[in-house]
């Protein structure tokens, strides 16, 4: 069925668009099947059951819970609050998907959003799903697009009017989904938030798999979590004060210069140091990754960035064994960096989200906020910065791009959250910020103000909480600016920091 038919079919099933009951949404609407549509009146709270990372918060508002499928295999949930603010919010999922993002859905429905999430075309319990070509295509981009169209149509049928605006938030795989929407389906959302998006995820996956295999081949050189902690700690101790404050957080690791040889164990030393084989492995991992001919495939890691210790993750293995080679028994030790990267790009071309031709999105008035932890061990910061620089080059320069797309680097943050830095700023799956819809500290509301009021975010206040109380706040700045301490106020308060042009980041933009 043509994609354009989804909206008309669902609305035709209801006659002319007008507000309807929750139960009336149930049934078949062409390729969209609503299996359940149940009115929920929390007494006093309600929570859906799902054992995943996307743990919901208690829901206290009456709503219509819609559970459906598209083309049989693409699952989605749409929650329609009784008190609607007129906006639709899509909630992205990371990793290999297969679940719904109940976290963001439950956080935002209390603010009046109609919220929707898709499992991307398969269930988490479904083994070897990547061997199916349709499942791969749905996962890489198609499922979210179809779900968004279905959600808009169902919301219009339920409320009797279309959504005024549509937004999307996601991190990791959800961040990649946000980029795909901006690049491939610019009419789906008025604004997107793309956290740790991994624009060229196949290459990032090559890096993670290759160095995991290298450590498997050389167990005496394999780096433990304690080894990585030592490296991270020593780098931070040396470079922490470059931003004017020694607080355990590097504002910009790219400015750091660290000699790893200082970590080598001295004769007789056994603790707080690295053996010669481990030091050699560390140096190899943080350096640009070479291909089989010794040619660099990437730029390596910023100082102090750790990686995931241990064997390759199940998702990495599935990507090649199931997705690329269609062989669950594939021998990972035969992995070839350059050739197998090319094979992944042939088999799953839409897994990449690094297209820079976003003129349709910009022309429609779309706005995008990207964010990235400087010390992300899973989706490294360098490729995200390089992609932003490429976007600027392809779309009129940095000033022109900043009118529609902005990148916020988060000092000290790991993958989507965690790490020594402040990691609460209203982004996907984070700890809730106070429900005051404050665009200065809630990234979603900053995006909404940008789209609806034309007020671009000049900074975002991020918080760090310990035992329920805010332990400090930090100012996040639009790239290529960095935060600098004013030398007067409390160092743990964002108000004591200001965003200034950073010559080093300017050079990274190609300026």
Instruction: Based on the fold, state whether residues 127 and 74 are members of the same structural domain.
Output: yes
Average pLDDT, stretch 262-272?
93
The answer to whether position 229 is within a domain reads: yes
Residue where a domain stops, chosen among 107, 142, 163 = 163
The answer to whether position 23 is within a domain reads: yes
In the three-class reduction of DSSP (H, G, I as helix; E, B as strand; rest coil), residue 406 is classed as: strand
Instruction: Based on the fold, state whether residues 12 and 133 are members of the same structural domain.
Output: yes
Residue where a domain stops, chosen among 333, 349, 365 = 349
Q: Tell me what pLDDT residue 270 has.
A: 83
* Separate counts of helices (H) and strands (E) for the chain: 15, 14
Residue where a domain stops, chosen among 284, 315, 349 = 349
Cα–Cα distance measured from residue 21 to residue 343, given in angstroms and rounded to the nearest whole number = 49
Question: Is residue 70 scored above 80 in pLDDT?
Answer: yes
Instruction: Based on the fold, state whether residues 276 and 157 are members of the same structural domain.
Output: no
Whole-number percent of the chain with pLDDT over 70: 95
**Phi and psi of 213, rounded to 5°?**
-70, -40
Cα–Cα distance measured from residue 308 to residue 314, given in angstroms and rounded to the nearest whole number = 13
15 pLDDT band, cuts 50/70/90, is very low
Q: Tell me what pLDDT residue 468 has.
A: 58
Q: Tell me what pLDDT residue 16 has.
A: 36
Q: With 0-12 CB in 10 A as exposed, 13-18 as middle and 19+ as buried, what is 4?
A: exposed
The answer to whether position 436 is within a domain reads: no
Structural domain of residue 299, as residue ranges? 205-349
Structure tokens at 475: 């100012």
In the chain, the number of structural domains is 2
Question: Is residue 483 scored above 90 in pLDDT?
Answer: yes
Assess whether the previous peptide bond of 260 is cis (omega < 30° from 0): no
Q: Tell me what pLDDT residue 347 has.
A: 95
Cα–Cα distance measured from residue 359 to residue 357, given in angstroms and rounded to the nearest whole number = 6
H or E element that contains 116: strand 114-118
Nearest Cα residue to 510 out of 294, 284, 345, 356: 356
Instruction: Based on the fold, state whether residues 108 and 228 are members of the same structural domain.
Output: no
The answer to whether position 380 is within a domain reads: no
Report the Cα 123 to chain-centroid distance in Å.
20
The pTM of the full predicted model, rounded to 2 decimals, is 0.95
Q: Which residue has the higher pLDDT, 389 or 432?
A: 389
Q: How crowded is residue 296: how many other Cβ atoms within 10 Å of its Cβ?
A: 11
Instruction: Based on the fold, state whether residues 8 and 141 are members of the same structural domain.
Output: yes
């Amino acid at each position: 069925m043509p994609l354009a038919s989804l909206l008309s079919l669902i609305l035709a099933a209801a006659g002319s668009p007008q507000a309807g009951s929750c139960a009336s949404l149930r049934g078949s609407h062409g390729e969209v099947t609503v299996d359940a549509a149940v009115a929920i009146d929390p007494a006093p709270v309600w929570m859906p059951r799902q054992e995943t990372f996307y743990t919901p918060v208690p829901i206290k508002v009456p709503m219509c819970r819609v559970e459906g499928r598209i083309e049989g295999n693409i699952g989605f949930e749409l929650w329609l609050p009784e008190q609607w603010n007129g906006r639709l919010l899509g909630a992205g999922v990371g990793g290999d998907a297969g679940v719904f993002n109940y976290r963001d859905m439950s956080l935002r429905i209390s603010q009046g959003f109609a919220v929707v999430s898709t499992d991307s075309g398969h269930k988490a319990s479904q083994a070897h799903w990547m061997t199916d070509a349709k499942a791969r295509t749905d996962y890489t981009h198609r499922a979210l697009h179809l779900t968004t169209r279905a959600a808009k149509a169902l919301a219009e049928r339920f409320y009797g009017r279309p959504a005024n605006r549509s937004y999307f938030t996601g991190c990791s795989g959800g961040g990649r989904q946000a980029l795909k929407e901006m690049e491939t389906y610019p009419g789906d959302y008025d604004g997107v938030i793309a956290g740790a998006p991994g624009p060229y995820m196949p290459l990032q996956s090559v890096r993670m798999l290759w160095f995991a295999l290298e450590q498997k081949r050389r167990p005496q050189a394999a780096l433990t979590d304690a080894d990585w902690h030592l490296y991270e700690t020593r780098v931070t101790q040396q470079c922490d004060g470059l931003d004017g404050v020694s607080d355990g957080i590097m504002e910009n690791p790219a400015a750091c210069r660290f000699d790893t040889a200082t970590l080598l164990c001295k004769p007789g030393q056994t603790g707080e140091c690295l053996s010669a084989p481990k030091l050699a492995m560390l140096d190899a991992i943080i350096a640009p990754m070479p291909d089989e001919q010794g040619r660099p495939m990437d730029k390596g890691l910023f100082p102090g960035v750790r990686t995931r210790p241990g064997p390759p993750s199940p998702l990495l293995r599935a990507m090649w064994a199931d997705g690329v080679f269609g062989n669950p028994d594939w021998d990972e030790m035969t992995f070839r960096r350059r050739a197998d990267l090319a094979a992944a790009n042939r088999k799953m071309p839409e897994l990449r989200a690094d297209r820079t031709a976003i003129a349709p999105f910009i022309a429609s008035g779309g706005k995008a906020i990207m964010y990235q932890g400087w010390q992300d061990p899973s989706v490294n910061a360098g490729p995200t910065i390089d992609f932003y620089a490429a976007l600027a080059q392809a779309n009129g320069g940095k000033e022109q791009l900043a009118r529609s797309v902005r990148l916020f680097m988060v000092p000290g943050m790991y993958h989507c959250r965690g790490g020594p830095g402040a990691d609460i700023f209203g982004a996907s799956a984070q700890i809730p910020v106070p429900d005051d819809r404050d665009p200065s500290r809630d990234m979603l509301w900053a995006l909404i103000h940008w789209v609806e009021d034309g007020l671009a975010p000049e900074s975002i206040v991020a918080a760090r909480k310990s035992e329920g109380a805010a332990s400090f706040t930090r100012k996040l700045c639009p790239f290529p600016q960095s935060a600098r301490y004013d030398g007067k106020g409390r160092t743990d308060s964002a108000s004591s920091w200001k965003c200034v042009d950073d010559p080093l980041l300017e050079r990274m933009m190609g300026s």
